[in-house]
Structure 1
Amino acid sequence: MKKFIPLLVVIFFFGCKDDIDDTIVVAPTENLEVEDFIYKVMNFAYYWQKDVPELADNKFTDDKEYTAFLQSFDGPVSLFEGLQYEQDRYSVLINDYKAFENNMKGISLSNGMNFGLVRFSQNSSDIFAYVQYVISGSDAEIKGIKRGDIFTDVNGNQLTTFNYRELLFSNAASYTIDLATINNNTITKTGISINMTNSQQTEQSVHLSKVIQNSGKKVGYVMYNSFVTSQDEDLRIAFANFAEEQIDELVVDLRYNRGGSVATAQLLGGLIAGQHANKVFGKLVFNEKLSSENQDVKITNSNINLGLSRVFFLTTQSSASASEMTINGLKPYLNVVQIGDKTEGKDVGSNPFYDYIDSNRTINPNHNYLVLPITFKYYNSEGVGDYSEGLLPNISIPENLTNLGVLGDAEEPLLKKALEYIRGQATGGTSTRYNRLHSSLVELQTEAGYTIYFPKD
């Protein structure tokens, strides 16, 4: 079994005990190097290993049987999918670990337009995209794309559930979008086309940070879009400013934050609730083989103490993974008020596995695959977890495509509701229902959520 490290820091140095690679090997002449790597990672570290018959330690009696099993699949992707537990929505096989590493640093090939996708109807494969936000200085900003813009076609092709990945998430240098409008829940094409140019972009995880005057109170507002460890200093700076301004309340906008590093989630917990530094933030539970790694992770001592008794989180169904960990992890210590929509429900996390060929962590030069299986489940200090259906908001106000508002503006609907709550004009426990989409329009969950990592020095 090959040892593994995460993106930037060492996670674990496990010795493999009682797993298949102690007894079964694949013949080197069979050209199944990648498949062998994938299988042994899944057999060793996969959270649901015991629930997948194909991953049982006694599945194979000899090398020939194991080799024949690997050969029965049509390549690495087919094998990986065949080894996943039926309820697993998040394990991923990466075919380019370098692109993955860049992505986890906030670096990607992009035109700077971040968007959501929506089905035209429950039974339709046709979809349209709406712009959630635009990266400053990007091609999208230069070409006038703004939050709330809608497009239906890419390169002259109607977006569908079958082609959107190829049209929108390929490595193409550019693509053309056809704009549309939405009125009375009807999508109408405008006839305007814009060519979008992709380039390497580094997205700043702290998208917005400001202090808002609200009826005599100073309210810190931060929109945080990804738990990127390499950008932790920017997060610290934002909260140091809040401390200097002596804010009275805090609103953390995680509506489009799909996750990232556990270490950065611990840091955010310590920046929000500094008075509870070094207390248990969460409990990580691994599979039976790795049960010795089950452990508590602590709220990081950030040396910043805002002295808050409560915190507001703005969420949508795109809030996932480390975002949910942060919300759930702070509930035992602060009055947590969640406003918006329910979160995605990713209560599990991953570790990335590289195919190391020696003890010096030399990556196998014969392929670029990286296995990213679910390896642990997360609970808070009180043992609360199992929120695969999402964390429910105290005040339900899903985003409305016809009135998304300006992010960070006091009149933006979700932030406005938080400010009203602070002024005593809204109460928790009420469910204020806003129709985000007409019943004929169904938001498409396109990406499974960023990985949530557990770094261990």
Structure 2
Amino acid sequence: MIPKLHKPAWLSLALLSVWLLSSCKKDTDMVDPATKSSENQTINNWILENMRDYYYWNDKIPTNPAVTLAPSDFFDSILYSYDATSRPDGDRFSWIEENADELSASLSGESKTTGMEFMLYLRAQGSTSVIAQVLYVLPNSPAEKAGFKRGDIISQVNGQGITTSNYASLLYSGQTNYSFGLATVQNGAIVDTDLTRAVTATVLQANPVFLDSIYTVGSKTVGYLVYNQFVPAPNNSNGSEYDDQVDAIFGQFKAKGVNELVLDLRYNPGGYTSSSANLASLMGKGIDNSKIYFREEWNSTLTPYLKQQYGDEFFVQRFLNKSQNIGSNLQRVFVLTTDGTASSSELIINGLRPYMTVTTIGTTTHGKNVGSITIVDDSGKIKWGMQPIVFKSFNSLGQSDYSGGFAPNVEVEEPINLQPLGDVQEALLNEALYQITGNRLARRAVAEPNRLPALGSSIQHRANGGRMIKTLSTFKPSKF
């Protein structure tokens, strides 16, 4: 969740996960060590001051941390880091970046990209070779123009085979020009081909509203929406263009008499809570702006101040009154999930369950029930931006027990031979249609199982596993 706050920093509350993130380090060979140490102390004191105020585990911050460390190392040193044995309640998700502007842009879906997202797998059990399978391609992106489509398999980058030791430098270094070598599946094995495709990455604004369809099966009119990030509008826009687009889709669903809904969040790492509440309010059954979508729990230092300044409503996100709501025509909603389903996506599941049946199909979600804030320096003197966890979220029944993710009600793994999103033979959508219709009118495709060990995805790397963002504009706390 990302509220915009002002401290002397603006803050954004986000549910975000750290996954495969590496900080960019500048060459400091020509910088005087004393100057660098002084600069680090200035940045680290700024980090420490804000963390002591806002961090959810602020009572766990070391008393005298080493402020001469590099900022990224210092930030890590003061976290209440997760440990499965000694700190099962610890922090898995806070992070810091050297460029606050890039951080802010990424929260609105703008980044330098080829325009395709992919999943990384070991080429075979026990292998150190890696493949990248394309999950989806953004319309009008460099990757689409180069001919990439969902299901394509990449085995080489710029002439080098992808391995466990080089995949980060080959795929996540931020370079511009790529030559991708492709492979294919033959008799269950990954086989290289001679086919290559050149792609030049560019700064691209991704529209999170990826695909919508309506399927008529007997008496069932099924609405289907692929939604890949909770973003109200493009970067640098103060509008609600993407939320308006979602509203229009549900307006069409309502006009067409949709009475079953499949929400595809399998690749959605989260986003702004305003957009999450907007979407939930379009499908929730028996809800209005008096009903609670979720509540927040902040640290004991900040909570009394917030209550005094804003009252208990500060901690509550209610549903919205939406004329396009189709909840009165629904008994349930089906949500398609994977490990990439995180934060605001999981909030949809948790927040709607007190009001209607939410059936999840796919694999276990990421498990992120805590929120963070984006903190940047309003003065512009400090260029860093950080994303510390600051609260935990609960639904209207006080439930927040999904730190291990939501296990699917119906488990379906994505196969190695991926079908296009929206195709009724695509594995997860096909299962949803079967659950809805109770018959095999949409026959389940015979898909070859994917038994390759997964290493994570570009979505998790780009979005750090998910974000849930709640925007505020007038929060100006004094020192507390």
| 2:377 alignment partner, one of 355, 366, 369 | 355
The residue number in structure 2 matching 1:238 is 249
Q: Letter of the 1:352 partner, please give it.
A: T
The 5 Å alignment of 1:34-73 reads 34-52=43-61, 54=62, 59-60=63-64, 69-71=66-68, 73=69
Q: Letter of the 2:319 partner, please give it.
A: I
The residue number in structure 2 matching 1:101 is 104
Contact 2:338/2:364 (<8 A) preserved: yes
CA distance in 2, matches of 1:413, 1:182: 18
CA offsets per residue over residues 156-197 of structure 1, 9 Å max, x none? 223234433332233322111111123344222112221111
Structure 1 residues 7 and 381: alpha-carbon distance in aligned structure 2, compared to 1, 3 A threshold: closer
Contact 1:107/1:203 (<8 A) preserved: yes
CA distance in 1, matches of 2:449, 2:342: 19
| 2:380 alignment partner, one of 364, 371, 383 | 364
Matched, 1:399 2:419: no
| 2:316 alignment partner, one of 261, 280, 296 | 296
Cα deviation, residue 425, structure 1:
3.8
Cα deviation, residue 5, structure 1:
2.6
Cα deviation, residue 258, structure 1:
0.4
CA distance in 2, matches of 1:170, 1:139: 17
CA distance in 1, matches of 2:47, 2:127: 35
Contact 1:349/1:377 (<8 A) preserved: yes
Matched, 1:455 2:471: yes
What are the ranges of 5 or more consecutive residues in structure 1 without an aligned counterpart? 10-26, 61-65, 357-362, 427-433
CA offsets per residue over residues 120-173 of structure 1, 9 Å max, x none? 457655421100011111121111111001112212223234433332233322
CA offsets per residue over residues 396-434 of structure 1, 9 Å max, x none? 0011122x21101111111111111111249xxxxxxx9
CA distance in 2, matches of 1:418, 1:408: 12
The residue number in structure 2 matching 1:322 is 344
What are the ranges of 5 or more consecutive residues in structure 2 without an aligned counterpart? 1-5, 15-34, 83-90, 234-241, 307-313, 441-446, 474-480
Query: What secondary structure sits across from 2:270 in the alignment?
Result: coil
The residue number in structure 2 matching 1:192 is 195
| 2:332 alignment partner, one of 293, 310, 332 | 310
| 1:269 alignment partner, one of 251, 256, 280 | 280
The residue number in structure 2 matching 1:437 is 450
Cα deviation, residue 324, structure 1:
0.3
Matched, 1:82 2:95: no
Q: CA RMSD in A?
A: 2.4
Cα deviation, residue 220, structure 1:
0.6
Q: Letter of the 1:168 partner, please give it.
A: L
CA offsets per residue over residues 80-118 of structure 1, 9 Å max, x none? 111222212211212112222222222211121111112
Matched, 1:280 2:292: yes
CA distance in 1, matches of 2:340, 2:471: 24
Q: Letter of the 1:283 partner, please give it.
A: R
Cα deviation, residue 228, structure 1:
0.3
TM-score (norm 1): 0.84
The residue number in structure 2 matching 1:30 is 38
Structure 1 residues 77 and 246: alpha-carbon distance in aligned structure 2, compared to 1, 3 A threshold: same
Contact 1:119/1:444 (<8 A) preserved: no
Contact 1:41/1:371 (<8 A) preserved: no
Query: What secondary structure sits across from 1:247 in the alignment?
Result: coil
CA distance in 1, matches of 2:166, 2:370: 29
The residue number in structure 2 matching 1:419 is 433
Cα deviation, residue 79, structure 1:
0.8
The residue number in structure 1 matching 2:261 is 250
Query: What secondary structure sits across from 1:40 in the alignment?
Result: helix
Structure 1 residues 28 and 166: alpha-carbon distance in aligned structure 2, compared to 1, 3 A threshold: closer
User: More displaced, 149-158 or 199-208?
Assistant: 149-158
The residue number in structure 1 matching 2:32 is none
CA distance in 2, matches of 1:3, 1:378: 25
How many residue pairs match? The answer is: 410
Query: What secondary structure sits across from 1:213 in the alignment?
Result: strand
CA distance in 2, matches of 1:441, 1:91: 26
CA distance in 1, matches of 2:251, 2:151: 32
The 5 Å alignment of 1:371-390 reads 371-390=386-405
Query: What secondary structure sits across from 2:403 in the alignment?
Result: coil
TM-score (norm 2): 0.80
CA distance in 2, matches of 1:315, 1:375: 26
CA distance in 1, matches of 2:186, 2:36: 61
The residue number in structure 1 matching 2:238 is none
Cα deviation, residue 223, structure 1:
0.4
Query: What secondary structure sits across from 1:405 in the alignment?
Result: coil
Q: Letter of the 1:159 partner, please give it.
A: I
CA distance in 1, matches of 2:245, 2:110: 16
Query: What secondary structure sits across from 1:42 in the alignment?
Result: helix
Structure 1 residues 157 and 105: alpha-carbon distance in aligned structure 2, compared to 1, 3 A threshold: same
Contact 2:373/2:390 (<8 A) preserved: yes
Contact 1:7/1:101 (<8 A) preserved: no
Structure 1 residues 80 and 125: alpha-carbon distance in aligned structure 2, compared to 1, 3 A threshold: farther
User: More displaced, 189-198 or 324-333?
Assistant: 189-198
CA distance in 2, matches of 1:8, 1:82: 22
Q: Letter of the 1:322 partner, please give it.
A: S
CA distance in 2, matches of 1:276, 1:122: 48
Q: Letter of the 1:41 partner, please give it.
A: N
Query: What secondary structure sits across from 2:301 in the alignment?
Result: helix
CA distance in 2, matches of 1:220, 1:228: 21
The 5 Å alignment of 1:134-149 reads 134-149=137-152
CA distance in 2, matches of 1:284, 1:98: 27
Query: What secondary structure sits across from 2:376 in the alignment?
Result: coil
Contact 1:220/1:249 (<8 A) preserved: yes
Cα deviation, residue 304, structure 1:
2.2
Query: What secondary structure sits across from 2:432 in the alignment?
Result: helix
Q: Letter of the 1:290 partner, please give it.
A: L
Cα deviation, residue 376, structure 1:
1.1
Higher relative CO (Cα under 8 Å, sequence separation at least 6) belongs to: 2
The residue number in structure 2 matching 1:63 is none
